Amino acid sequence: MSKSSIMPGFRPALVFTLIYLSLIVLIPLSTLVFKSFELNWDDYVRIITNKRVLSSFQVSFSSALMAAVIASVFGFITAWVLVRYSFLGKRFFHAIIDFPFALPTAVAGIVLATIFQPSGFLGKILKEAFDVQVAFKPLGIVVALIFISIPFVVRTVEPVLLEFESAMEEAGASLGATRLQVFSKIIFPNVFPALLTGFALAFARGVGEYGSVIFIAGNIPYVSEIVPLLIVTKLEQFDVEGATAIALTMLVISFVLLLLINVLQYWVRKRSGQL
Amino acid sequence: MSILLSDISKNFGAFAALNHINLEVPEGELVALLGPSGCGKTTLLRIIAGLEHADKGRVIINGEDKTDQNVSERGIGFVFQHYALFRHMTVFENVAFGLRVKPRRERPTDYILSQKVHALLELVQLDFLHDRFPDQLSGGQRQRIALARALAVEPSVLLLDEPFGALDASVRKDLRQWLRNLHHELNVTSIFVTHDQEEAMEVASQVVVLNHGHIEQLGSPSDIYDRPANAFVSRFIGQTNIFDLEEHDADWLQTAGILNPHQEAKVAHVRPHDIIIEKSTRGHTAPATLKDWQHLGALIRLELVKNSSNGSTAPVFAEMPNDQFKQLALNKGDKVDLKIRQAHWFH
């Protein structure tokens, strides 16, 4: 293995990557882990099994999951429309997709809270027509997270749809497949791995989101309080141990979930011959 | 099944891709649509398939008007230039696709489906690859799988769009032979598109020469070669020397012995093998000088320069068998006599 490979610069590139990863990611995260060693196991369990903490975990992960699923469906449709059809203002919509990336999330949260509150523009209609309240309820968290995470799905699915060889569709049709069969058996399986990536990104973003959520969630303990908010609350009360314990748990759960999604993705790609 | 095209026209914007095409393909034929790029041959094939719709005209397959039917209802098999295999499916699933998407009533049981797919894979001699993915196959293998996939639905006609266009020369030669044998075995009416005249002549039983969206000539390969209908076909099929009377080649042609006094047409097309060469003893009055030659395997191509000062200076190409050339024992720069056996005259 001493022969130099075709791609030059392996060593400097690796060194740079490791330094970068260490400074920005590994050292901060390991500090978190070491900090939590100051706690003994019983304290840790006591903090984590606190009912308020458990509810916040449930709120955070369930709303992130729901938002990621919905964002995946709508993100896919949006990407499909942007790739497949040409219509007036297409470029404009194309640009607008990236808005949630750039907008300060707090602004998004405030705007969403304003229009979805019971006296707001959309909130009023929903309240009167369906007796549904969005703002200051767990549902509000889902709405904010969908807003934040949709561009992740659109931007991962779009290039795959763009690259998709239309002759494959024509081949399917020439073999007697209906349009629905062409979509479900040919197009969708080819796009699915990318959609899964988009889903994972959307989910990860949703779990970590803070700024937009706190303005629309109402932050009622046991009901609509998210984990990041709880960590901040603990810190404000100088309860560093508590904050650390929650943060570490969050880190582990997120890691395991992302790992699972990656395994699923590996399996999907393997099955469809992309590996 | 026979295919009848009546008065097909198709425009892309201001560009007329096809102009009033009328064509009848009898059952069981293997027809080549031959023409230079942009002549409309692929568009015509896609119109027959239903992948494209004609602005005007009817497509009738086996007596049934299919003009307004969707591609999925036409019962055709289509083979794409770049194979268009389903990348996310194994070879087996690719071939099985057409059977799996049939309406429930017509769908075969798993056992019959599996037997049928394996039989098709054996037909294309690739059954051992059944669990591979398309990305793991070579170009030639992919094209054969694409063919097996198209045959799985027992199409009434088989349409192939430049089937060997993306393959390298040796694989191409094998596959041509193989396609002809396969057609002989299955006898399904087939049309394939090609820009390669050699391929068309070698594989097809009938050749349709297209240019600028209309049919220049339709006939068997020997018809097309020996009796080209016009100057375009003559130039497009095989090698041709062109002599234009208006460029003062008359004297020269007189010497070569093909000009008769009542000649009306102005341009003579002469195949290289219709030129007979002999070593000249006439010195400077000989009609041509041997400039160079190339080995084409069994044949030698001679490059000659005309000696007449008032004619065009384009080289003349002649071909003769290898051993005959050896007997003549010619060297570069030798003066030669030549005799033209026959020419095709065009206006």
For the domain that residue A175 is a member of, what is the CATH number? 1.10.3720.10
Pair type for strands B275-279 and B335-340: antiparallel
Distance, in angstroms, between B134 CA and closest chain A CA? 8
- For residue A191, which residues of chain B lie inside 8 Å, CB to CB? none
**Phi, psi at residue B327, to the nearest 5°?**
-60, -35
Residue B126, classed as helix, strand or coil, is coil
Cα separation, B189 vs B157, whole angstroms: 5
Put simply, the chain B residues between 122 and 141 with a CB less than 8 A from any chain A CB are 133-136
Residue of B nearest to A270 (CA): B88
Residue A208, classed as helix, strand or coil, is helix
| Facing residue for B84 by CB, picked from A170, A178, A185 | A170
At residue A217, the pLDDT reads: 86
Same domain, A141 and A9: no
Same domain, A167 and A186: yes
Cα separation, A43 vs A240, whole angstroms: 13
At residue A177, the pLDDT reads: 92
Residue B33, classed as helix, strand or coil, is strand
Put simply, the chain B residues between 72 and 131 with a CB less than 8 A from any chain A CB are 72-73, 75-78, 80, 82, 84-90, 97-98, 100-102
Same domain, A22 and A100: no
Distance, in angstroms, between A169 CA and closest chain B CA? 8
At residue A1, the pLDDT reads: 47
Dihedral (Cα; A71, A73, A78, A81), 10-degree rounding: 180
Strand order from edge to edge, sheet including B3-12:
B15-25, B3-12, B56-61, B64-65
A175 and B101 within 8 Å at the Cβ level: the answer is: yes
**What are the CA-CA distances from residue B320 to residues B198, B209, B219, B281, B328 (Å)?**
19, 27, 27, 20, 11
Same domain, A29 and A128: no
Q: Return the exposure string of A19-28: e unless at least 16 CB atoms fall within 10 Å of the residue's CB, then b.
A: eeeeeeeeee
The angle subtended at Cα B266 by Cα B264 and Cα B271, nearest 5°, is 110
- Other C-beta atoms within 10 Å of A214: how many? 22
| Facing residue for A168 by CB, picked from B75, B86, B153 | B86
- Per-residue pLDDT tens, chain A, 275 aa: give them: 455 567 788 888 899 999 999 988 888 888 888 888 888 888 888 888 899 999 999 999 999 999 999 999 999 999 999 999 989 988 899 889 988 888 888 898 999 999 998 888 888 888 888 888 888 888 999 999 999 999 999 999 999 999 998 899 999 999 999 999 999 999 999 999 999 999 999 999 999 898 899 898 888 888 888 999 999 999 999 888 889 899 999 989 988 988 998 898 888 888 877 66
In the structure encoding, which two tokens stand for residue B218, read together? 């339709």
A274 and B87 within 8 Å at the Cβ level: the answer is: yes
The residue among B51, B86, B90, B136 with the most chain A CBs within 10 A of its CB, best to mutate, is B86
> In terms of DSSP H, where are the helices of chain A?
10-21, 27-36, 41-48, 51-84, 90-96, 99-102, 105-116, 121-130, 138-163, 166-174, 179-182, 188-208, 211-216, 227-236, 240-271
Residue B289 has pLDDT above 70, yes or no: yes
pLDDT single digits (tens) B232-254? 999 888 888 888 777 666 777 77
In the structure encoding, which two tokens stand for residue B26, read together? 């009898």
Residue B309 has pLDDT above 70, yes or no: no
Pair type for strands B30-34 and B206-211: parallel
Residue B171 has pLDDT above 90, yes or no: no
Cα separation, A84 vs B48, whole angstroms: 25
Mean pLDDT confidence for B314-323: 87
At residue B335, the pLDDT reads: 84
Q: Whose structure tokens read 């299919």?
A: B66
Same domain, A32 and A48: no
Residue A120, classed as helix, strand or coil, is coil
B308 close to B247: Cβ distance less than 8 angstroms: no
Same domain, A69 and A179: yes
At residue A275, the pLDDT reads: 67
Residue B212: name the closest of B6, B41, B31, B59 by CA. Answer: B41
Residue of A nearest to B52 (CA): A170
The residue among B88, B133, B154 with the most chain A CBs within 10 A of its CB, best to mutate, is B88
At residue B63, the pLDDT reads: 85
Q: In the beta sheet, which residues pair with residue B61?
A: B3, B64
Q: In the beta sheet, which residues pair with residue B16?
A: B11
Among the residue ranges A104-118, B24-38, B275-289, the one predicted with the least confidence is B275-289
The angle subtended at Cα B80 by Cα B75 and Cα B82, nearest 5°, is 160
* Structural domain count of chain A: 2
Determine the number of helices (DSSP H) and then strands (DSSP E) in chain B.
Answer: 10, 18
Residue A239 is which amino acid? D
Cα separation, B107 vs B91, whole angstroms: 19
Cα separation, A136 vs B175, whole angstroms: 69
Residue B66: name the closest of B74, B77, B76, B57 by CA. Answer: B74
Same domain, A207 and A159: yes
B255 close to B266: Cβ distance less than 8 angstroms: no
Same domain, A8 and A132: no
The residue among A170, A175, A182, A275 with the most chain B CBs within 10 A of its CB, best to mutate, is A175
At residue B331, the pLDDT reads: 83
> DSSP character for B246?
G
**Phi, psi at residue A273, to the nearest 5°?**
70, 20
- For residue B85, which residues of chain A lie inside 8 Å, CB to CB? 168, 171
Give the sign of the dihedral formed by CA A124, CA A129, CA A134, CA A137.
Answer: positive
CA B60 to chain centre: 24
Same domain, A6 and A91: no
Q: In the beta sheet, which residues pair with residue B207?
A: B32, B219
pLDDT single digits (tens) B153-167? 989 899 999 988 878
Cα separation, A217 vs B325, whole angstroms: 95
Secondary structure of B256-307 as H, E, C letters: HCCCCCCCCCCEEEECHHHEEEEECCCHHHCCEEEEEEEEECCEEEEEEEEC
Mean pLDDT confidence for B89-111: 93
Same domain, A108 and A223: yes
Cα separation, B206 vs B224, whole angstroms: 9
| Facing residue for A273 by CB, picked from B71, B76, B88 | B88
- For residue B146, which residues of chain A lie inside 8 Å, CB to CB? 171
Same domain, A27 and A160: no
A174 and B72 within 8 Å at the Cβ level: the answer is: yes
B97 and A174 within 8 Å at the Cβ level: the answer is: no
Distance, in angstroms, between B31 CA and closest chain A CA? 20
A273 and B152 within 8 Å at the Cβ level: the answer is: no
Mean pLDDT confidence for B188-212: 92
**pTM of the entire structure?**
0.81
Q: Which residues contact B285 (CB under 8 A, 6 or more apart)?
A: B307
ipTM over 0.95: no
The residue among B78, B100, B101, B159 with the most chain A CBs within 10 A of its CB, best to mutate, is B101
Please count the CA atoms within 13 angstroms of the CA of B277 that sit on its side-chain side.
Answer: 31
Which residues from A are below 8 Å from B when comparing CB atoms? 165, 167-168, 170-178, 181, 185-186, 189-190, 272-274
- For residue A185, which residues of chain B lie inside 8 Å, CB to CB? 97, 100-101
- For residue A160, which residues of chain B lie inside 8 Å, CB to CB? none
Strand order from edge to edge, sheet including B267-270:
B241-244, B267-270, B344-346
Residue A169 is which amino acid? E
Same domain, A14 and A117: no
Q: Which domain holds residue A45?
A: 39-271
B88 and A272 within 8 Å at the Cβ level: the answer is: yes
At residue A3, the pLDDT reads: 56
A172 and B101 within 8 Å at the Cβ level: the answer is: yes
**Phi, psi at residue B296, to the nearest 5°?**
-115, 40
